[in-house]
């Protein structure tokens, strides 16, 4: 499968990890081995970016920035429009590559490419709408307004679970705002990153634009550190664990740079006595086992009213009995593998910890051998009944283990929901307007995303995406998240022949 996809994308330099547009940059000779979680076969050996290559790339970025920011925003939007067109054509092949390299189901992989197409469309429209406000001055014959300028070079650190969509949320918007981008993709999914880099680079080349408008680097923690410590990187947008995000934020802050963080989630769904279980059960099913529980928006905690607890458990048990696990490229399967064996071990340790703390397993999953795919990192999902005060519920276990917690009063359910360090996504399942509105009020969910009668995952690109507390506080994607990629300038113009001072101050010579 892989070979025809790689042939299709004409990827020959499988081991190059450092790119300025379509030009590779010589880098270290050490190699990162990449294996598919689907069948354990080796996909590539990639050279991580070394310091010298990094510096070469940053110099080119600075030069490209001079050209790109002088191109009118709607013309920059045209480049993003062409990228969206390209993605439409490549959806099938790119989806397959994402599925094979990352392990998510083919349906979800196509969804990821669609998310990229959607954000391109959004960014194109935005390229004609980078609006600033005008204000009325307190002084006569004065005009005040604000305008937005590009930041310069944007660093993007993305995670394996959405190997391309989260990059595109950042890059497409950053580009229309007049910035150039350097992307450190996940070292677990370098081929998908390389293909996306090639796609945008081909457009830049066709249009005779500087290749460094889009650059790609590869590597681990150290490479991320270069970005966060580098004063030439105006904004570092990082997606990943809260631990990683904290390190990035501290490094960026000590040089007064800007950071945009999209970190861990520990998302809950509240099921009230007034919930329509015909919606709540499939929403839980997708939220908990979609992407094998490896979305930052995955449903991790189900907070269920006592009166419907038995019925929810019965229905979930029968839904989980039907889960199809196996080759994610087979569209009949709901669940592919976890990203690697380390993730499998982590999941097994999570199950053990849950048992130790007194959790009762309703569905007990574990390691799974899929016939014909024995070397893949497959697991089956779990559901455990737990108490809100157990330590395990405070952590984001990046795997398909769903905790169920019972409650009696809605206020208590919301307290349970909010009483974790993370604050990304949340949802309430109810047909009762009072319950829904209370959940959405300032006394309700403390998360960046609050839903009614849909799951915790699967946000649309049109809204601002991100969360509070240890999720990092950033907002990416839609709404006015573009403002993160620009600097605001307040302008006051005096067109009178006098110099009146603000606040009525008299200061005559």
Minimum CB–partner distance for residue 457 and ligand UN1 (Å)? 4
Under the binding rule (CB under 6 A), the answer on residue 377 touching ligand UN1 is no
**Contacting range for ligand UN1; rule: CB under 6 A; set: 34-42, 295-303, 334-342, 430-438:** 295-303
Is-contact 325 335, C-beta < 8 A?
yes
Which is closer to ligand UN1, CB of 327 or CB of 471? 471
Candidate list 259, 267, 272, 297; residue touching ligand UN1; CB under 6 A: 297
Site size for ligand UN1 (CB under 6 A)? 11
Minimum CB–partner distance for residue 449 and ligand UN1 (Å)? 8
Tokens matching residue 424: 């990304």
Which is closer to ligand UN1, CB of 106 or CB of 203? 106
Which is closer to ligand UN1, CB of 296 or CB of 343? 296
Minimum CB–partner distance for residue 161 and ligand UN1 (Å)? 5
Minimum CB–partner distance for residue 456 and ligand UN1 (Å)? 8
Which is closer to ligand UN1, CB of 174 or CB of 296? 296
How many Å apart are CA 463 and CA 458, to the nearest integer?
Answer: 12
Under the binding rule (CB under 6 A), the answer on residue 195 touching ligand UN1 is no
Minimum CB–partner distance for residue 296 and ligand UN1 (Å)? 4
- 312-331 mask for ligand UN1 (x: CB under 6 A)? --------------------
Which is closer to ligand UN1, CB of 61 or CB of 196? 196
All residues at 6 or more sequence positions from 35 whose CB lies less than 8 Å from its CB, including other chains: 41, 42, 43, 340
- Nearest residue to 214 (alpha-carbon basis) of 427, 433, 68: 68
Is-contact 280 430, C-beta < 8 A?
no
Under the binding rule (CB under 6 A), the answer on residue 105 touching ligand UN1 is no
Instruction: Please list the alpha-helical segments (H only) found in 33-105.
Output: 51-68, 73-102
**Contacting range for ligand UN1; rule: CB under 6 A; set: 14-22, 53-61, 161-169, 338-346:** 161-169
Which is closer to ligand UN1, CB of 21 or CB of 37? 37
**Contacting range for ligand UN1; rule: CB under 6 A; set: 74-82, 195-203, 247-255, 291-299:** 291-299
How many Å apart are CA 471 and CA 486, to the nearest integer?
Answer: 22
107-136 residues in contact with ligand UN1 (CB under 6 A) are 115
**Tokens 């009213």, residue?**
305
- Cα dihedral 278/280/284/287 (nearest 10): 110
All residues at 6 or more sequence positions from 127 whose CB lies less than 8 Å from its CB, including other chains: 73, 74, 76, 77, 78, 80, 176
Candidate list 27, 127, 161, 272; residue touching ligand UN1; CB under 6 A: 161
**Tokens 């650059």, residue?**
215
**Tokens 């990449």, residue?**
34
**Contacting range for ligand UN1; rule: CB under 6 A; set: 66-74, 160-168, 200-208, 300-308:** 160-168
Under the binding rule (CB under 6 A), the answer on residue 343 touching ligand UN1 is no
Residue nearest to ligand UN1 (CB): 459
Residues annotated catalytic, as ranges: 262, 296
Minimum CB–partner distance for residue 265 and ligand UN1 (Å)? 8
Candidate list 110, 160, 162, 226; residue touching ligand UN1; CB under 6 A: 162
Going along 272-423, which residue ranges are E strands?
A: 299-305, 360-363, 367-368, 378-379, 382-385, 401-407, 422-423
How many Å apart are CA 317 and CA 312, to the nearest integer?
Answer: 8
Minimum CB–partner distance for residue 268 and ligand UN1 (Å)? 15
Is-contact 177 485, C-beta < 8 A?
yes
The DSSP call for residue 357 is: T
Which is closer to ligand UN1, CB of 166 or CB of 388? 166
Going along 350-431, which residue ranges are E strands?
A: 360-363, 367-368, 378-379, 382-385, 401-407, 422-423, 425-429
Tokens matching residue 192: 């998908």
Which is closer to ligand UN1, CB of 15 or CB of 346? 346
Which is closer to ligand UN1, CB of 191 or CB of 459? 459
- Nearest residue to 406 (alpha-carbon basis) of 267, 265, 273: 273
Return phi, psi of residue 45, to 5°.
-120, 120
Candidate list 65, 127, 192, 239; residue touching ligand UN1; CB under 6 A: 239
- 400-439 mask for ligand UN1 (x: CB under 6 A)? ----------------------------------------
Instruction: Classify 279 as helix, strand or coil.
Output: helix
Tokens matching residue 279: 């919606």
Minimum CB–partner distance for residue 452 and ligand UN1 (Å)? 16
Q: How many helices (H) and strands (E) does the chain have?
A: 13, 25
All residues at 6 or more sequence positions from 336 whose CB lies less than 8 Å from its CB, including other chains: 37, 38, 99, 103, 104, 105, 292, 325, 326, 327, 328, 378
Minimum CB–partner distance for residue 256 and ligand UN1 (Å)? 27
442-501 residues in contact with ligand UN1 (CB under 6 A) are 457-459
Minimum CB–partner distance for residue 115 and ligand UN1 (Å)? 6
- Nearest residue to 286 (alpha-carbon basis) of 92, 108, 38, 112: 108
Q: Which residues of this protein are in contact with ligand UN1, per CB under 6 A?
A: 115, 161-162, 166, 239, 295-297, 457-459
């Amino acid at each position: 499968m892989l070979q025809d996809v790689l042939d299709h994308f004409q990827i020959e330099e499988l081991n190059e990890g450092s790119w300025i547009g379509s030009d590779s940059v010589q880098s270290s000779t050490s190699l990162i081995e990449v294996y598919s979680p689907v069948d354990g076969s080796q996909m590539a050996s990639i050279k991580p970016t070394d310091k010298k290559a990094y510096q070469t790339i940053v110099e080119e970025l600075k030069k490209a920035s001079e050209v790109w920011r002088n191109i009118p925003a709607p013309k920059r939007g045209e480049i993003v429009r062409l990228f969206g067109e390209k993605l439409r054509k490549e959806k099938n092949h790119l989806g397959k590559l994402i599925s094979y390299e990352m392990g998510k189901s083919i349906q979800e992989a196509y969804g990821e490419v669609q998310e990229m197409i959607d954000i391109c469309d959004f960014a194109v429209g935005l390229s004609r709408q980078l609006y600033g406000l005008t204000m009325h001055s307190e002084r006569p014959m004065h005009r005040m307004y604000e305008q937005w300028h590009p930041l310069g070079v944007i660093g993007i650190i993305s995670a394996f679970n959405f190997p391309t969509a989260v990059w595109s949320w950042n890059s497409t918007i950053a580009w229309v705002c007049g910035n150039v981008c350097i992307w450190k993709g996940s070292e677990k999914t370098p081929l998908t990153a390389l293909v996306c880099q090639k796609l945008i680079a081909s457009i830049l080349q066709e249009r005779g634009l500087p290749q460094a408008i889009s650059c790609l680097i590869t590597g681990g923690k150290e490479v991320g550190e270069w970005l966060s410590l580098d004063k030439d990187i105006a904004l570092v947008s990082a997606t990943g664990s809260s631990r990683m995000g904290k390190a990035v934020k501290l490094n960026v802050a000590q040089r007064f740079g800007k950071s945009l963080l999209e970190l861990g989630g520990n998302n809950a769904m509240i099921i009230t006595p007034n919930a329509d279980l015909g919606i709540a059960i499939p929403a839980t099913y997708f939220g908990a086992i979609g992407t094998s529980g490896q979305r930052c928006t995955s449903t991790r905690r189900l907070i269920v009213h006592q009166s419907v607890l038995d019925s929810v458990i019965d229905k979930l048990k029968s839904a989980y009995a039907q889960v199809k696990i196996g080759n994610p490229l087979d569209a009949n399967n709901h669940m592919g593998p976890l990203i690697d064996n380390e993730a499998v071990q982590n999941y097994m340790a999570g199950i053990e910890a849950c048992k130790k703390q007194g959790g009762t397993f309703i569905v007990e999953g574990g390691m799974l051998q899929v016939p014909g795919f024995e070397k893949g990192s497959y697991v089956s999902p779990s559901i455990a009944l737990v108490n809100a005060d157990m330590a395990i519920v405070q952590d984001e276990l990046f795997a398909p283990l769903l905790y169920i917690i019972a409650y009696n009063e809605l206020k208590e359910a919301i307290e349970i929901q909010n009483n974790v360090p993370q604050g990304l996504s949340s949802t309430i399942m109810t047909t009762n307007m009072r319950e829904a509105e209370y959940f959405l009020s300032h006394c309700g969910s403390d998360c960046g995303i609050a839903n009614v009668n849909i799951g915790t995952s699967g946000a649309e690109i049109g809204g601002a995406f991100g969360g509070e507390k240890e999720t990092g506080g950033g907002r990416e994607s839609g709404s006015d998240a573009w403002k993160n990629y620009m600097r605001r300038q307040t302008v006051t113009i005096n067109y009178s022949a006098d110099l009146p001072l603000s606040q009525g101050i008299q200061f005559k010579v």
